[in-house]
Amino acid sequence: MALTGLGGVNIPYYLEEEQGWALQVEGLHRALKDFKDVCNPVALYVINPGNPTGHVQSKKTIEEVIRFAAEKRLVLLVDEVYQDCVFGKGSEFVSYRKVLSEIGPPLSQNVELASFHSVSKGFMGECGLRGGYVELVNLDPEVMSYAYTMFSADSCPTVTGQLALDLMVNPPRQGDPSYPVYVQEIQTIKTLIVQNMSRCLEVLNSMPDISCQPMMGGVFIFPRLHLPQKAINKANALGIQADLWYCNMLLEEAGVCVGPGCEFGQEEGTHHIRLCVLTPVDTMEEALQRLKNFHLHFLQEFS
């Protein structure tokens, strides 16, 4: 958003929804081809685990993306803020830095990488504390000098945010007095997310004209709305994106706040909503029931 505001060009690439929101390198090639006469691409932005999709990339996919970036001479900007929140069966978080290192020279010495992490998206901060870091790999020394100057002049997180960040990268270890409480708290949060995610899938996929892929990590779920044409026409007449209009009505009529898919660069002609599953079980249950009642009434009115 900042780069676009400063005049940069955003080249969208799309994930494969029917494959659990997987990233396919073929899609990256298509995106570059479509914009070859528009701009000179310099960087590739990747989110793993995915937000809002909840997809966790395999090591094979990460290797393919790194080789693609090397071939196209792109800096890799990798958002890895949900790395501690992976729970899908057979899913494992692997950092881009680790895979790049294991590939070996010359790629491990040449591919430029920036890896972002944040305490506010992890178990330590839980969106209440703010602080984070970026690790820069293989950047030109002159660029590194500029980055250090820019970061040093920027405002720092609050003291509590810095403390939480230190705890996140250096958590209690077995034998420490706080270790049992730390482990119990982390497991409680993970159990909550898995329970809510499973319940969301059960309820959402039982509703007409909604389909939802399982999430493997993160704290969001991204179901697809198959909106009636009458509803789409109504939204168009009001000059508003159909899923944003749906979300506004859901908030006004049912008191449930979700995010519209149009804010996340979805494919044209598709509609989605984003729900957060990091909430108490009873709150999640009430939100799902309100959403279900609203959705059924909405279909009855516009089908």
Token pair for 303: 């089908």
Confidence of residue 88 (pLDDT cuts 50, 70, 90): confident
**Domain coordinates in residue numbering, the chain:** 2-169, 179-302
Note the pLDDT of residue 73. Answer: 96
**1, pLDDT greater than 80:** no
Note the pLDDT of residue 34. Answer: 92
**158, pLDDT greater than 90:** no
Query: Cα separation of 233 and 118, whole Å?
Result: 41
Query: Cα separation of 261 and 211, whole Å?
Result: 14
CATH number of 179-302: 3.90.1150.10
Q: Which CATH architecture has domain 2-169?
A: 3-Layer(aba) Sandwich (3.40)
Q: Burial code of 38-58, b = ≥16 C-beta within 10 A, e = fewer?
A: eeebeebbbbbbbbbbbbbbb
Please identify which residue in the block is written with the tokens 């994930």: 15
pLDDT in tens, 162-213: 888 898 999 999 999 999 999 999 999 999 999 999 999 999 999 999 999 9
Note the pLDDT of residue 110. Answer: 96
Q: Is the pTM of this model over 0.85?
A: yes
Region 9-22: mean pLDDT is 94
pLDDT in tens, 134-146: 999 999 999 999 9
Within 71-171, strands assigned E span 75-79, 113-118, 132-137
Least confident of 8-12, 93-97, 207-211: 8-12
Confidence of residue 90 (pLDDT cuts 50, 70, 90): confident
Note the pLDDT of residue 131. Answer: 87
State what percent of residues in the chain have pLDDT above 70.
Answer: 99
